[in-house]
Amino acid sequence: MSGAGSSHEEEPRVTITDKRKINRDGTPSAPSGAEAPAAEPVPAESPAADENATLLAERTADLQRLQAEYANYRRRAERDRQAAGEIAIGRVLADFLPVLDNLDRARQHGDLTGGLKAIADQLDEIFGRLGLVAFGEVGDPFDPAIHEAVLHNEDDSVTQPTATTIMRPGYKHNDRLLRPAMVGVTDPATPSAPQADSEAVDPTAGEDAPPAGE
């Protein structure tokens, strides 16, 4: 058969028509009239995310509490350190008080001269910078908290117990008592009891007197 097997019937071509347009970014756009794809739903926060947020808040609160406790600890440690230093200085100054007493006696007798006076002046300057303060003056009101009374007398010249003799000065270190002042105290004289009238009233006055001559 002529032509048999040499010619085949041409198969119909398949044509695909895509009416979508290409966007500038290279993505195909939806065809006109076609429905836009529905937006994907936003997933809700998972329980694990809530748990992590709660844990973060708890850890933040713990950290803030630790920071506050550490700050308080540092302040207490600094106060304790200062207090310990003040006590140590006070003890050293208390050991020097007998030396200061001897220098005071030498000064009262006019023996504090020359090199000894220079040493005494230097000690006064150093102890003053360290906060050592002497107290006890004639005329001070007697205060048993800071005065040690070793003598007592009475006089009308005072209206309250008064330190009228200073036998040994007292000392303080930054308002802390190192030693009381040794003083003699004068108390007000005891007021005398009220005296009766010299002209006492006769309780029988006004009664009928017996007739004269009886």
Q: Read off φ and ψ for residue 88, nearest 5 degrees.
A: -65, -40
The predicted-structure confidence for 167-181, as pLDDT tens digits, reads as follows 999 999 988 999 999
Q: For residue 4, what pLDDT is reported?
A: 47
Fold of 132-191: Nucleotide Exchange Factor Grpe; Chain A, domain 2 (2.30.22)
Alpha-carbon distance of 185 to 138, in angstroms, equals 10
Indicate the pTM of the whole model: 0.58
Tokens (6 digits) for 52: 């992590």
Q: For residue 33, what pLDDT is reported?
A: 55
Q: For residue 18, what pLDDT is reported?
A: 57
Q: For residue 186, what pLDDT is reported?
A: 95
Q: How far is CA 99 from CA 39, 75, 86, 119, 123, in A?
A: 97, 37, 21, 11, 10
The predicted-structure confidence for 52-71, as pLDDT tens digits, reads as follows 888 888 899 999 999 999 99
